[in-house]
Each structure stands twice: as C-alpha cells, then as structure tokens.
C-alpha cells in the first residue's frame, strides 16, 4: 500500500498540543504495515477518545489534561490518513472495514481492556463497530454527536430504487466552491438527502481545506494558530485522501456494503448491558436526534443521566471540553466495574 507521512516539522509549536508521540505498526490489509500514531497520557481507567472528520487527535487537546487530572489514562489515536498517522495515497485503500481493522489492531497491540469509549463523528462509526465486535475490551460507552447508520426502516424491495435515486441526486449536485457555499446548500435542501452536499464537497471541491472547515464549524472561535493546527497533517492533496473519502463511506445509501456489519453491530448493542451515556450538543446540524436510538434500543443506556451540551455544535470537544470531561469522569465514577459483570 502506497502512503505518505506528514513531516514532523508541521506539528511543531501547535497551541495546546504538547503530548509525547507514540506509534504502533498496524497491518495495512495488503501484506505491509502502516504507522499509527496515538496519544497516551496518564494512569488509571482507560478512556479511548476517537476523533472524526476532518479532525485528528488535536481535537482532544483540551479534554486530555482534565481526564488525566481525574485519574484516567487517555488514549487518543489518529486514524490512518489523519494526524501523525500514515496516509495511504489512494482513496480506494480507505474502507470502513479497513478503519475498523486498523483501530482493532491498535487495541490489540496495546492490549487495552476496561475501555471507556468516548466517540464523536466518525469516531463513533468506527469505535462503535469496534466495540460491538470486541465487547470484552469495553466497559462503557459515551457516544457524542455520532451514530451508526444501517439504513434503518428501508424495506428490502426499496433498497435498489432508493439507492439509485440517491446516487442520481448526488450527481446532480453542483460542486461547492467552499465550505460556506456547501453549508448554504445543505441547509436549504429539503429532499432528506442534504448530507450528500457534504459528501460532494469533501470528495470533489478544490475548496476543501480541513482547518477552514473546523474554523467555520466552530463559529470562528478558533484562533489562526488552531486553524493551522488542524491543517498541519494535510500539506497537499497527496495527504488528503483520508478526509476526502470519509463522508463517501458513511452508509446512508442503503446498498452500501458496510450496512450488514452495522446491522450486526446494532444487534449486539440491542443486548448490550454495559453502561452507555449519550452526550450530544443541542446545536449540531449533522447528528441531531441520533441519540434517541441509543437511549431507546441499548439496555445499558436505560436509566442513565443522559446529557445535552447546551450551545455546542458538531465539534463539541472544542466548545465544551470541561463539561465533557466532567461527564466522562462522573460516568466512570457512577458505574464502577466492581459492582457489575462486564
């Protein structure tokens, strides 16, 4: 598998990100290996913090010290294609199954157990699948602004026509020039397929700049140096295959090859007794309402003190890091493993 590795100098002097770099070699699924980066700070209960797209472990720079101070060991990896991890140059190398395999390889290499999973955006799509397929390693889960799509509610005889209609609609969408044009088009779309504007933008627009996307999504709250930090892993197009491909992999089109595995994961979660606590922002246009399925379908989520983060949009780790860290620490304290069987 051909890949590039971002020059280390691009990660120098990033505000708030002073963590020691750790690496593990994971199988690339083609007979070779890839170097996967992760932050490993503190001691105690393991909290696995998984980022989404187009971010990287920099997203957790404000939460990590707080969780460490609270007595936790924080593992915050960069998915393959992101952050300090290696970046395959072909988009075809990025599949949902490969991402799950790469994360699983990291957990096995570090032999992590008793994990509290905190997952947002694609961190949930990958992390939840990984938890469902390796339940013995996980103690509790905090989904935050994420989901596990599986074409729920679409009858078998509708899969082909709905898929054809969605692909035709995607082809009809003009390529957005930048994130502003994309956001306007997405907000004004009343077809139920508005997410495809985001897919189109990431896959095809020359105006796709990860740092700028984060800056816009956080309402201008990021400094110029923080925007630069989000751009650091991606100096040119050769390094962007991962973030460009992620939205295309979201299994919203019902014939997506990942849907059977996601349905199997949901079958596991529908008998999942370990604690699950949702923590969603009240201003996220991407995952609004996704928390309901966890609360209603997962046994371990019933009776939990689920949290709504007021005023937080999609990247709630930027907007409410202190509150989120306290939510995680309180959840761990309230659900000790000694009092139940995992």
Check if 157 is active-site.
Answer: no
Strand partners, 260: none
- Catalytic one of 28, 37, 284, 291: 284
With beta carbons less than 8 A apart as the criterion, state whether 239 and 87 touch: yes
Phi-psi region of 192 (alpha: psi -120 to 50; beta: other; left: phi over 0): left
> Is there a catalytic annotation at residue 111?
no
- The residue from 28, 121, 150, 231 that is catalytic is 121
Radius of gyration over every alpha carbon of the chain, rounded to an integer in angstroms: 19
Burial of 211 (0-12, 13-18, 19+ CB in 10 A): buried
Catalytic residue (one of 51, 197, 239, 314): 314
285, 183 Cβ separation under 8 angstroms? no
Write a three-state SS string for 287-327.
Answer: CCCCHHHHHHHCHHHCCCCCEEECCCCCCHHHHCHHHHHHH
Q: Does residue 290 contact residue 260 with C-beta atoms inside 8 Å?
A: no
Residue 263, H or E segment? helix 259-269
Q: Does the annotation mark 236 as catalytic?
A: no
Which has the closest alpha carbon to 308: 297, 323, 286? 323
Instruction: Please list the active-site residues.
Output: 121, 284, 314
């Amino acid at each position: 598998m051909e890949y590039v590795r971002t020059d280390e100098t691009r990660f120098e002097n990033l505000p708030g990100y002073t963590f020691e770099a750790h690496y593990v070699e994971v199988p690339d699924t083609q007979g070779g290996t890839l170097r996967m980066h992760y932050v490993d700070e503190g001691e105690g209960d393991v909290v696995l913090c998984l980022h989404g797209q187009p971010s990287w472990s920099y997203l957790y720079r404000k939460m990590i010290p707080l969780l460490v101070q609270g007595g936790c060991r924080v593992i915050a990896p960069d998915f393959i294609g992101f952050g300090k991890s290696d970046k395959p140059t072909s988009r075809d190398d990025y599949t949902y199954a490969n991402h799950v395999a790469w994360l699983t390889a990291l957990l096995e290499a570090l032999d992590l157990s008793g994990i509290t999973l905190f997952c947002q955006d694609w961190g949930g799509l990958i992390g939840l699948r990984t938890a469902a397929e390796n339940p013995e390693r996980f103690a509790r889960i905090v989904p935050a602004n994420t989901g596990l799509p599986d074409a729920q509610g679409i009858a078998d005889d509708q899969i082909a026509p709905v898929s054809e209609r969605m692909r035709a609609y995607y082809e009809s969408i003009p390529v957005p020039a930048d994130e502003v044009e994309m956001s306007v088009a997405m907000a004004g779309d009343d077809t139920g397929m508005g997410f495809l504007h985001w897919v189109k933008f990431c896959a095809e627009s020359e105006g796709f700049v990860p740092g700028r996307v984060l800056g816009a999504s956080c309402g201008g709250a990021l400094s110029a140096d923080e925007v630069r930090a989000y751009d650091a892993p991606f100096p040119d197009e050769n390094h962007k295959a991962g973030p460009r491909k992620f939205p295309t992999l979201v299994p919203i089109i019902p014939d997506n090859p990942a849907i059977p595995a996601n349905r199997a994961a949901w079958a596991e979660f529908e008998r999942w007794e370990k604690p699950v606590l949702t923590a969603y922002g009240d201003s996220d246009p991407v995952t609004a309402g996704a928390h309901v399925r966890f609360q209603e379908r997962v046994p371990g989520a019933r009776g939990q003190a689920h949290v709504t983060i007021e005023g937080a949009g999609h990247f709630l780790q930027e907007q409410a890091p202190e509150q989120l860290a306290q939510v995680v620490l309180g959840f761990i304290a309230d659900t000790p493993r000694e009092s139940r069987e995992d």
